[in-house]
Structure 1
């Protein structure tokens, strides 16, 4: 890390040599000698900065320069920002360079909004290639820090192209560019495959990375072809190491699979569903041996069984308490593991992964849909319990990143509480009170119709299937008949194959997210659904969803290593489109469906990565389109 910081310091300091900065001149030899003696006694950025505050003229500027360099080396970003603000009051300082330092310090501190504002103000003042390259690089880092690699890439490409054409380097640019590039899907990469030769070189390298990872011979040949096609490309700095790493990445060779699931007790039924999913996947991906172990056994008993079996991979456990038990005992530390739930504790191994049917995935997907569609004031309806409150809080936290408008929230305690909650949120009760006042003023009959509030533009229901079927009619009768219908959305909890087999009419128009497995005609494995219906026609919704999760957890064993290395890589599963984040968590993108004409139909709803609130005023945002 220290070598990287030194490199950063050298490049940033090099901006001064290319700029028109006037170097502080010595006014007298004795002053210079005194300054040098004092400087030699200062050992860190803070002491240099404090000493500079007591100096005047050239001595002060020189000490501030030295303190600024030291602050970068020491990674003291708050101090760097303070030093740069002090230098802003000095006319002889290269203010463009100094403001780039300020943006760097702010970005490193997580002050992305201030960094972006600083960079926007600089944009029209840039003339030197070094300044332009650093401006583009720092802008890219701001977008990347917000989880927006697609938006960051045009700035990264511009910085790489400028620095390459002008024969200088920008510290950490290649590393950061590659980190964001490998988060993109192959579709997004193809859309970037144009522009400068430098940009195309980066994109094609990432495409080879995705296509041939896990195939050492083909990958090595592809890399050789790339080097012949793009001689002198800036990626050559990281390529030798990357080629070695990538060629060594082969799919996991799993012959002996151990599966930890509930095989006894209150959760045995859930274990049966998981076991069925594993066995169904093994029909098309056969292994030498599979061992099912009851996860309720002690850590010592499980450890002995795994050791005797010589497992290559472990799937499970399902229950969080058992994940914690085995994590504390470090029972699974030497095995690659796909846990079947999330875990609040520390990830004890880089080869441990977590696959959960998390409702937060669906909330994030719905939120992104609302923002893409231009909805500005959502209303949430949720049960007044710990789960409902947790999901509403998660939605609110994420929504506030992108909008200043606060969502309306209604919690209902039960069936009897729903009408009051809905009429209160829609302000229908106030409309009824106004009607009663008007009627009291006239003796004859007054024709009237209640009005609901018109500012709510989308409603998101977070209830289960039974609750959603009670809520929907209340919404239908309480929204003004002469007003535009408010779009209704829900999560997969609202959908039940069991209930839908006899009743779909009450949910007309409702959009919801769902596992492809739970929607007719949405999976390629048609025979699998037919076999399932024949064997378990009465299975519950939760059993079906656990079946799909276990099926996917087993099916992606050969891809788990590549998925964990390439964030842009996706696995088309029956539980959703799957990817693995750097923290080892499997994330899901579900299908959209709608109730229409007493049928459930799959629909395509446009969803884009939203732009954080502080970036929305940015002008000239680049895109791949």
Structure 2
């Protein structure tokens, strides 16, 4: 309440000051170019004058030009004091035409800072265009460049963000290599310029990022790359940072034999034996392609965690894969083996996890598919149309809906429309209600009653404000919903694209499905690359006759987990690194393996890659 009253009071005060100055009978408004700025001096972010002092100076100003100069400084002072609403109140009363050339840069910086506070990043870049070089004070120069870096970072232009950040650090009171690396580590291979920059400082960061991307093909080469970097950039700001990365690698490498061992914890007996065997198949397939790895499998369902730890320590492995079951993952996550990289094959509540720089969580979460479906619809359809989600009224269906909504970013269209069905008999009515046919039929009946014997057009009209429909249910549910959707869309309306999850893709329709023609679904690359006819998949399906695609996805997960163990240290250090795996394009963010899936279409009785699908998994098809 106090803050609200304070904001209103200051806004009124600013308005009162302007009114008093501009309404004086003998006062002539002068153009800024012809008037000396009474406060025409450089500001400081740490100066002694408070915002209230500047408001008082504005109140006593001789003319409205001097008054505006004081109010610009008041706005900046409010922002320095973290009083953002008060600063906004002052800025809202200013007129750009009455601000001198000298004060314009402070005015635009203040507006940019307010835009950043409101997370309006395009506005930040607009306000600061050409402004940083106008500042003589190091702190203002650094602040404006930091804001530009933050704006580029938020729109995921990480290279541009790095360029601004390196420039900002030149004017900072104290250089911070960690801050620069926090930006550089996000740069993907596609964003990195092919040519090394001419600027020496920026070139050092460019080379550091480039070496990490090169080392993804042969992870053992990273140590040599970093040694080469240290020799080439002896005076670079990142030397201490790179040296800190090298020490653990050097010490760890002393006890590793030429043939490294990976310990694998899986349920190889009991209720989840098939799932454990599927993952084991993938691990064996991947390690069989290498000459320097051997694997020791441990049944997580036999003995306890302490016995498993003792066995693993006797092996002295370079990494651990597993366990798979959530309760086992939770137990290990709270007390992992120190300094041993571990890829957990499930995800647990973050509050119960002991933070470690060597552990990651790798899970085939259905939520990932729903989030990526929302992102794809946003990218494909930028107009102000919303999406429709039709899901089963179950905990799983509601979770998928929540995940879809959490990644929806089309502000023009508002929240997606959600419709739930409880049973098979509800589906037709749910689709008709969702697409507006029920309302259209009611309008037709009303008009026919009013028209009497006059012939009235009886063709129902479906909604035109839906860009796409998402069906997160299983194959049976999608098969039942698809015909209702087809007949519910008006024949003279544009077809509405229908998206589905990998649950729609099963063994029985892995090579195509005429009944689902037109449906676009997400899945792991291994199951849809080359229309699902790749050699490794065919061999596995012959070996595991009768197993379904849900187990095949676990096999791909096991295959990729070996590649992750080999690259875990650098992928944790640099989220911009991506590995093209059988289960998707993989990168690590906040200790969680993020999967970019591939999109495919049921088309004329076969499966084809959807337009714009990535080349995930291209290395091992």
Common topology (TM > 0.5): yes
Could you tell me which of 542, 545, 550 is aligned with 1:542? 550
Q: 1:466 aligns with which of 476, 497, 520?
A: 476
Identify the residue that residue 617 of structure 2 maps to in structure 1: none
Distance 1:87 1:380 in 2: 42
Q: In the alignment, which of 594, 600, 603 is matched to residue 601 of structure 2? A: 594
Tell me which residue corresponds to 2:282: 277
User: What is the DSSP-based 3-state SS (H/G/I as helix, E as strand, rest coil) of the residue aligned with 2:545?
Assistant: coil
Unaligned runs of 5+ in 1: 1-19, 25-44, 228-235, 608-625
Counterpart contact for 1:469–1:506, Cα < 8 Å: yes
SS of the residue aligned with 2:586?
Answer: strand
Which has the higher relative contact order, 1 or 2, with Cα contacts under 8 A spaced 6 or more apart? 1
Find out whether 1:301 has 2:307 as its counterpart. yes
Query: Which residue does 1:241 correspond to in 2?
Result: 240
State the distance in 2 between where 1:531 and 1:520 align.
Answer: 15
Count of residue pairs the alignment pairs up? 543
Q: Secondary structure at the match of 1:210?
A: helix
Change (3 A) 1:161 1:407: same
- The C-alpha deviation readout for 1:536-578, integer Å capped at 9, x for no partner, is 1211222111111111112332112222122221111111111
SS at match of 2:309: helix
Give 1:199 shift: 5.6
Partners of 2:503 and 2:303 in 1: how far apart?
A: 31
Q: What is the CA distance between 1:406 and its match in structure 2?
A: 1.9
* Structure 2: distance between partners of 1:431 and 1:472: 20
Relative distance call for 1:97 and 1:84 in structure 2 (3 A) is farther
Q: Equivalents in 1 of 2:468, 2:189: separation in Å?
A: 33
Secondary structure, aligned partner of 2:346: coil
CA contact (8 A) 1:210 1:566 kept: no
**Match for residue 562 of structure 1?**
570
User: Aligned residue for 2:591?
Assistant: 584
Q: What secondary structure sits across from 2:601 in the alignment?
A: strand
Residue aligned with 1:489, SS: strand
CA gap 1:513/1:262 in 2 versus in 1, 3 angstroms: same
Give me the whole-angstrom Cα distance separating, in 2, the residues matched to 1:470 and 1:52.
71
| Residue 484 in structure 1 maps to residue 494 in structure 2 | yes
Give the aligned CA root-mean-square deviation in angstroms.
4.5
From 368, 378, 402, the counterpart of 1:361: 368
Is contact 2:527–2:537 with CA below 8 Å preserved after alignment? no
The structural deviation recorded for 1:292 is 1.8
Aligned partner of residue 594 in structure 1, secondary structure: strand
Which residue of structure 2 lines up, in the alignment, with residue 532 of structure 1?
A: 540
- Return the alpha-carbon distance in structure 1 between the equivalents of residues 265 and 378 of structure 2: 40
Aligned ranges 1:164-203 → 2 under 5 Å? 168-169=171-172, 175-190=178-193, 202-203=205-206
Give the alignment of 1:143-292 within 5 angstroms: 143-144=152-153, 146=154, 148-150=155-157, 152-154=158-160, 156-158=162-164, 160=166, 168-169=171-172, 175-190=178-193, 202-212=205-215, 214-215=220-221, 216-222=223-229, 224-225=231-232, 237-248=236-247, 255-285=260-290, 287-292=293-298
| Deviation by residue 1:186-238 (Cα, 9 ceiling, x = unmatched) | 122136867977766643442134224742334433554567xxxxxxxx552
Secondary structure of 2:159 counterpart: helix
Alignment match, 2:391: 382
> Is the Cα contact below 8 Å between 1:382 and 1:462 reproduced in 2?
yes
TM-score, structure 1 as length reference: 0.74
Q: Distance in 2 between matches of 1:449 and 1:84?
A: 53
Deviation at 1:489, TM superposition (A): 1.2
The 1-side partners of 2:93 and 2:442 are apart by 63
Distance between the aligned counterparts of 1:84 and 1:493, measured in 2? 50
1:394-409 alignment, distance < 5 Å: 394-400=403-409, 402-409=411-418
Q: 2:169–2:176: 8 Å Cα contact kept in structure 1?
A: no
Superposition deviation, residue 430 in structure 1: 1.9
Find the aligned partners of 1:408 and 1:531 in 2 and give their Cα distance: 43
Report SS of the residue matched to 1:342.
Answer: coil
For residues 193 and 52 of structure 2, what CA distance do their matches in structure 1 show? 54
Distance 1:56 1:448 in 2: 73
Contact 1:516–1:522 (CA under 8 A) maintained in structure 2: no
- CA offset at residue 112 of structure 1? 2.4
Q: Which residue of the other structure, out of 317, 332, 337, is the alignment partner of 1:326?
A: 332
- The verdict on how the C-alpha distance between 1:249 and 1:492 changes in structure 2, with shifts beyond 3 A counting, is farther
Secondary structure in 1 matching 2:491? coil
- The answer on 1:78 being equivalent to 2:82 is yes
Q: 1:596 Cα deviation (Å)?
A: 0.7
1:495 equivalent in structure 2: 505
User: For 2:395 and 2:358, how far apart are their aligned partners in 1?
Assistant: 32
Q: In structure 2, list runs of 5 or more residues that go unmatched.
A: 1-38, 59-68, 615-621
| 1:100 positional shift | 4.2
Change (3 A) 1:301 1:391: same
Q: Conserved in 2, the CA contact under 8 Å of 1:314 and 1:338? A: yes
The superposition leaves residues 145-171 of structure 1 with CA deviations (integer Å, 9 ceiling, x where unpaired) of x3x431x5335425645886xxx4575
